[in-house]
Amino acid sequence: MRPIDAFTLLLKEVRGCTICAHDLELGSRPIVQLDPRSKILIVGQAPGRKVHESGVPFDDASGDRLREWMGITSRLFYDPALVAILPMGFCYPGTGASGDLPPRPECAPAWRDKILRHLTQVRLTLVIGAYAQQFHLPAAPRGVTETVKAWHSFGPEVIPLPHPSPRNNIWLKRNRWFEEELVPELQHRVSALLGDVDGSTTRILEA
């Protein structure tokens, strides 16, 4: 079986997954964006309710902010040959007392290693929020703030980020260094990888 055939089969299995459907508030609807050619990998937490309803990853205010941080258009963001989106949990986990519940624990052991083996062209991984950072950056400082502050230490192919949710507006106001120092570097690395792919410059190249 050719690698592309194996990947296509795997993606079909992922999108049909019902491992934890009985524990999900709205049932299972795995939402990922994957292609073996992807240059950038976005590792988030889990889809929110709005994303569950639309079936489109980061189709919400968090996605608007993330695209702004990256300095790219929706057209580039939603091209799987350029950007892969692989949350820690593929389905909306439901609502808790203070927001969405954590990603379901069954998801990562079942699928993560199998998928990552196919993403051999990734040159930049954005690791968003505590759950993703605990998995992908186990040696990082404890807590999102300290991990993001230590972004220099992860090399050119990994950037830790806070969650772009509007719930993090207070964090952004308290940590202005993030948008002053890290966001320009993020945009520089993204534009270096994607360049003028769609025939129009990204926002960072227009600045």
d(CA 176, CA 95): 29
Residue 20 contacts residue 94 (beta carbons within 8 Å)? no
Residue type at 185 in one-letter notation = E
Residue 107 structural domain: 3-206
Q: Assess whether pLDDT exceeds 50 at residue 92.
A: yes
pTM: 0.91
State how many domains the chain has.
1
CATH label of the domain that carries residue 112 = 3.40.470.10
pLDDT 10s digits, 170-203? 999 999 999 999 999 999 999 999 985 554 444 4
Task: For strands 40-43 and 124-128, give the pairing.
Answer: parallel
